[in-house]
């Protein structure tokens, strides 16, 4: 089965019970990606586990992995897959940066 990158990312996040997963369609307003995925992790350990699972899944499906940032403290781990950028954030960090509002409601689609 040939899954698209966005679907691979969302399914991987769901497998490890990432919370409050949202997808933002930024194709028309961004030059760096088409989709921005935001998910909440319950702890730094949970964030690292989710990120590792996501990376494994991307590699398993032979998709491109551009880079990973934030694994050390794991408050906010960014996994850049090119067309899809996944943000795995602890609740406090997600509320503070409020990326959903930053990008606007018009970009929000359901995961």
Q: What is the rounded distance in angstroms from the CA atom of residue 30 to the CA atom of residue 60?
A: 27
H-helix or E-strand spanning residue 85: strand 84-90
Convert the pLDDT of each residue in 39-59 to its tens digit.
Answer: 999 999 999 999 999 999 999
DSSP state of 31: S
If one counts the domains in the chain, the total is 1
Q: Buried b / exposed e across 73-85, counting CB within 10 Å, b at 16+?
A: ebbbbebbbebbb
Convert the pLDDT of each residue in 47-103 to its tens digit.
Answer: 999 999 999 999 999 998 999 999 998 999 999 999 999 999 999 999 999 988 887
Beta-bridge partners for 23:
37, 109
Residue 103 pLDDT: 77
Instruction: Show the domain range for 19.
Output: 5-110
What is the pTM for the complete model shown?
0.90
Q: The CATH number of the domain where 88 resides is what? A: 3.30.460.10
Could you tell me which of 44, 37, 52 has the C-alpha nearest to residue 93?
Answer: 44
The answer on pLDDT for 111 being more than 60 is no
The answer on pLDDT for 109 being more than 80 is no
């Amino acid at each position: 089965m040939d899954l698209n990158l966005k679907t691979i990312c969302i399914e991987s996040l769901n497998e490890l019970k990432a919370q409050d997963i949202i997808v933002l369609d930024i194709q028309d307003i961004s030059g760096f990606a088409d989709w921005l995925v935001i998910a909440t992790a319950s702890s730094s350990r949970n964030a690292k586990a989710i990120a590792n699972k996501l990376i494994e899944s991307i590699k398993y499906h032979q998709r491109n992995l551009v880079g990973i940032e934030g694994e050390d403290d794991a408050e906010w781990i960014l996994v850049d897959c090119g067309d899809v950028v996944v943000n795995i954030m602890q609740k406090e960090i997600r509320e503070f940066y409020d990326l959903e509002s930053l990008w606007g409601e018009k970009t929000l689609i359901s995961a």
